[in-house]
Structure 1
């Protein structure tokens, strides 16, 4: 029964979300749609800045890797991190090798989407984060892959984690579905 209700919820979200047009000027091949329980987040990807990272995100989205993945680390006033489709706790990556850094001069401000990584600059894989606010300390140190162009109000609703636990979220919100806009049904 619970699976049936969950399937119905995803179907209803799909119908409502599909009816929403993309903001003008977006390339559907380089736009990601992130559906959550609260609505849709639209991300304009930047292959001009980070072609390898953008290709990886699109590849994993097409493989449904991000579907039902939690926002495992969310720090109010900083960022919401997700993308660990293996373990869901921020310690995993995809089955693919890590990516070399593709740093740029784009500043980390509200709505910027960056790739999470370990201490090694060349360790980004599948995890990404969305900025709640500006943080110049990340500039030139993390790969920028895109920017939220619609739905920051939805990002703001993502359940926040405990500051004492470095943003770890108990019973976290999840990505219901993530897809490349060109593939949206």
Structure 2
């Protein structure tokens, strides 16, 4: 386990292999960090699938409107929705999309991020300045590395639970 310096800005994401500890970066992207904490606290991320896991690139999850359904149809739709809250404005920074960084998934509109996010498997510098970085994995990256691959994966892995460390 990583040392948690700021429990209010630390996310504990439980995967089948164990806990992934994510340090949020509210000084860099305050709106994105607040949204992740709000969705975690409401339970919206619990049981949501990783609907896009591309080897050597990233693992994407967080479609709270489709991603926690059991049907294959809804899992195929995962990635097309978000929460019922308004989309977030981009909070681009100089932070790189390096291994373990958390980025806000969005459509082609830079101000369309909502609930979906991705974890970079490797340094993806081509994303720098294009997508909001708002956190980084500080322990448990091996559990992200173990996720089943696919778009969507044949048997998608899920976030079992997502909590703010201050509440755990």
Moved over 6 A (4+): none
Q: How many residues align?
A: 158
From 2, 21, 46, the equivalent of 1:42 is 21
Q: SS of 1:80's equivalent?
A: strand
From 49, 62, 69, the equivalent of 2:41 is 62
Higher relative contact order (CA 8 A, sep 6+): 2
Kindly indicate whether residue 137 of structure 2 is the aligned counterpart of residue 148 of structure 1: yes
Distance 2:84 2:116 in 1: 12
1:183 is matched with which residue?
167
Kindly indicate whether residue 112 of structure 2 is the aligned counterpart of residue 123 of structure 1: yes
- Residues 154-169 of structure 1 mapped to structure 2, 5 A cutoff: 154-161=143-150, 167-169=151-153
Q: SS of 1:110's equivalent?
A: coil
- 1:168 deviates by 2.1
Q: SS of 1:56's equivalent?
A: helix
- 1:25 deviates by 5.1
Q: Indicate the structure (1 or 2) with the bigger Cα radius of gyration.
A: 1
1:16-70: per-residue Cα shift (whole Å, max 9, x none)?
Answer: xxxxxx5235200000000011110000000011000000000000000000000
Distance 1:37 1:49 in 2: 30
C-alpha RMSD of matched pairs (Å) = 0.9
Distance 2:47 2:4 in 1: 29
From 91, 102, 105, the equivalent of 1:113 is 102
Would the aligned equivalents of 2:4 and 2:10 in 1 still touch at CA under 8 Å? no
Structure number with the higher helix fraction is 1
1:86 is matched with which residue?
65
Kindly indicate whether residue 156 of structure 2 is the aligned counterpart of residue 172 of structure 1: yes
